Amino acid sequence: MSRPYSAERPEFPPAVPDPDADSATDAVASVRVADAVPSGVALSPSAPSSADPFPLNLDALRTSTGFGPLAGRSIVLIGLMGAGKSTIGRRLAQRLGLGFVDADAEIERAAGCSISDVFRMYGEGAFRDGERRVIRRLLDGPSRVLATGGGAFMNAETRAVIRERAISVWLRCPLDILVRRVAGRSHRPLLNHSRPRDVLERLITERHPVYAEADIIVQCGDDNVDNSTTRVIEALALNHRPRRLPVALDRASYDVVIGAGLIERAGALLAPVLPQKRVVVVTDATVAELWLPPLLESLGDSGFHVRTVVVPPGEKSKSLEEFGRVTDAILEQGVERRTTIIALGGGIVGDLAGFVAASTLRGLPFVQIPTTLLSQVDSSVGGKTGINTRWGKNLIGAFHQPAAVLADISTLATLPAREIRAGYAEIIKAGLIGDERFFAWCEMHGATVLSQEPEPLAEAVERACAFKAAVVTKDEFERSSEGGRALLNLGHTFGHALEAELGYDGRLLHGEAVSIGLRLAFLLSVRLGYCPQADLDRLTRHLESTGMPAWISDTGEAFAADTLLRHMTRDKKMHDGKLTFILVRGIGRAFTCRDVPEAAVRAVLIEEGCASDALQTPDNGRPK
Ligand SMILES: NC(=O)c1ccc[n+]([C@@H]2O[C@H](COP(=O)([O-])OP(=O)(O)OC[C@H]3O[C@@H](n4cnc5c(N)ncnc54)[C@H](O)[C@@H]3O)[C@@H](O)[C@H]2O)c1
């Protein structure tokens, strides 16, 4: 069906159909334009004017009777030609009991002519406008599965409509598979003029950075339709719209983004907040194996130039030696002032990479992608960075705020149970400091958080993170004399002393030390007469019932009270040579207590089973 151009037509984009009208082209074959023309739709090539949108009969759109478990939202599939949007879309709709609609077919139905003709007669601008109106109308209806043409999501207004009303799923497919799938498909006009591989390569460069804004990304390779559909369903089940917690500070503001699948979208999430598309990813060897590949893919999709530096896992990497090695590697790679350091890993990588960012070239932009529970709920937020010395933990460091924090809760799926427990200590800490209701929530849901049930786990991360963000916003540099950021150290003076004594060799994780430290801070508060015994008992019960370390004897190690006290006097939290502790008046009522008598601390340690002088311990301190 060829129509001549109208002589009156002003300049339109070339009469090339959407190169990726894969779903449409099927429809072009099946919709006989003459049959489908609704009354009143002008097909004459001389009728339209460039100022007018092309006429659409929106009432001609199919309505769906399906409904689904998506809170009224539809699922919009996006991706390049050959990715399988129509095939997977149909199967997905069938399995979810939803209607399936091919947006391009509906555009043709509403336009009364093929997409090729719309492009030729009205130009791409008019087509995109019509496409947006059709998609909006389709998304107004009951929830359904919608396959869109490959160019639809490239249009900012259409993206906004989809974001507002649907869940977008990018079916991401490797180039080689796409090339194979589109081979010999003569109904894709663009492919008839150039080598399919060249066309697809160009489309990947143009479109992947924008597709990366999809809510969900599903890798679709050579798997069969059923398996790919299952993956989409699983990803939908895990989908929580990312939550953004703003951290608004005097000199810097940033968002903590919390959600599933964020690493796969990191490029799109970071591109708008970074000064340059050059980054160095610092990670540790364990995390590199698990989570570096999707991060590199996502950054690559968004056009980032990426280098990586891998450090050994473990607290030993927070050392001057490793700091030197990482800065050397970064400088050797020719880092620029606007190059961003991305920390991918737990609190150790975050603290080390953050300090590297703070000090290299007097400060490079910095991003945190925390992958442990502890780092998601605590260390990645607030800008404290640093390394350890033989004199104690975090004694060299700087405040250096990140430009963004992406807390991808999907990464927790690969975290060992012991690390989850370590992170949980920092979660309950939030409740113990200032939110009794949150602690009560932990009492109800702690076991499910620890067994990594996605819903309670996500909620715990959000609530603890929100708590930390709020505290940091009010007292960025820990200057507040009362309350403020220092309260976040609840349990840490005891915890750091235990860690230091064991030499950070993995026998006691930081979070485990904090867990024990929390109980000791409550015990000291009770002994000093600040806190009711009932609150200490409540905390002990919760720690024990969830399998958290609560007693010094849970470390399985022997300690001497005086040695631990010596570590405490070297802690940064000393003021004028006096022992300063964060104590509690009860659950949710922490306060700073300066000048805590050393004798009271020693008595608590001995009560816990520590040796009073040399190391010939111990009674384990537990009530008989
Ligand atoms: N800056 C702050 O405000 C702050 C606050 C609290 C703690 N910290 C620091 O954080 C550090 C502890 O952090 P951490 O507990 O996250 O330890 P970590 O960084 O050592 O991570 C724990 C272990 O888990 C591995 N790992 C990380 N992510 C994983 C994943 N998704 N799947 C499988 N394995 C994974 C790591 O390789 C490592 O072996 C301490 O040095 C502590 O001082 C800093």
Q: Is 426 annotated in the active site? A: yes
What DSSP character marks residue 364? Answer: -
CA triplet 132, 190, 49: central angle to 5 degrees? 45
The pLDDT, as a whole number, for residue 393 is: 81
Q: Ligand 1, residues 256, 286, 355: which to mutate, most atoms within 8 A of Cβ?
A: 286
On average, the pLDDT of the chain sits at 84
pLDDT digits (tens, 9 = 90+) for 118-175: 888 888 888 889 999 999 999 988 889 999 999 999 999 999 999 889 999 999 998 8
The pLDDT, as a whole number, for residue 234 is: 83
Q: Is 489 annotated in the active site? A: yes
CB proximity list for 486: less than 8 A, separation 6 or greater? 475, 478, 480, 573, 582, 592
**What are the Cα distances from residue 28, in Å, to 39, 120, 422?**
19, 15, 58
Q: Whose CA is nearest to atom 34 of ligand 1?
A: 415
d(CA 417, CA 372): 11
The pLDDT, as a whole number, for residue 192 is: 61
Q: What is the pTM of this model?
A: 0.75
d(CA 395, CA 386): 7
30 is in an annotated binding site: no
510 is in an annotated binding site: yes
The dihedral region occupied by 72, where left means phi > 0, alpha psi between -120 and 50, and beta the remainder, is: left
**Which pair of structure tokens corresponds to residue 484?**
């403020």
378 lines ligand 1 (CB under 6 A): yes
Q: Which of 496, 519, 542, 567 is catalytic?
A: 496
Residue type, 321: E
Ligand 1 centroid to residue 407 C-alpha, Å: 13
347 lines ligand 1 (CB under 6 A): yes
The pLDDT, as a whole number, for residue 329 is: 96
Q: Is 390 annotated in the active site? A: no
Going through 201-350 in order, the beta strands assigned E by DSSP cover 216-219, 243-248, 253-259, 278-284, 305-311, 340-345
What residue spans of 261-346 are helical by DSSP H?
A: 266-270, 285-301, 320-332
Give the position, in ligand 1's atom list, of the atom nearest the Cα of 291: 31
Q: From the CA atom positions of the chain, what is the Rg in Å?
A: 30
370 lines ligand 1 (CB under 6 A): no
Q: Ligand 1, residues 310, 352, 366, 374: which to mutate, most atoms within 8 A of Cβ?
A: 374
Domains of the chain: 22-238 (3.40.50.300), 243-415 (3.40.50.1970), 469-607 (1.20.1090.10)
Q: Is 492 annotated in the active site? A: yes
**Residue closest to 607 by CA, chosen among 617, 621, 618:** 621
**Residue closest to 289 by CA, chosen among 329, 344, 356, 222:** 344
The pLDDT, as a whole number, for residue 241 is: 67
What are the 10-residue block averages of pLDDT along the chain, 624 residues in total?
30 34 33 29 40 59 41 89 93 92 91 86 88 92 91 92 92 90 66 79 89 86 88 80 83 87 89 92 98 94 92 95 97 92 98 98 97 95 92 89 94 94 97 97 96 86 91 83 86 94 90 97 98 98 97 96 90 68 96 91 96 61 53
The pLDDT, as a whole number, for residue 220 is: 85
Q: Which of 32, 251, 482, 624 is catalytic?
A: 482
344 lines ligand 1 (CB under 6 A): no
Give the position, in ligand 1's atom list, of the atom nearest the Cα of 381: 3
Q: Ligand 1, residues 351, 461, 471: which to mutate, most atoms within 8 A of Cβ?
A: 351
375 lines ligand 1 (CB under 6 A): yes
Give the position, in ligand 1's atom list, of the atom nearest the Cα of 426: 6
The pLDDT, as a whole number, for residue 577 is: 62
510 lines ligand 1 (CB under 6 A): yes
**Residue closest to 85 by CA, chosen among 31, 150, 130, 28:** 150
Q: Which burial class, exposed, middle or buried, applies to 280 when counting CB atoms under 10 A from its CB (0-12, 13-18, 19+)?
A: buried
d(CA 282, CA 557): 33
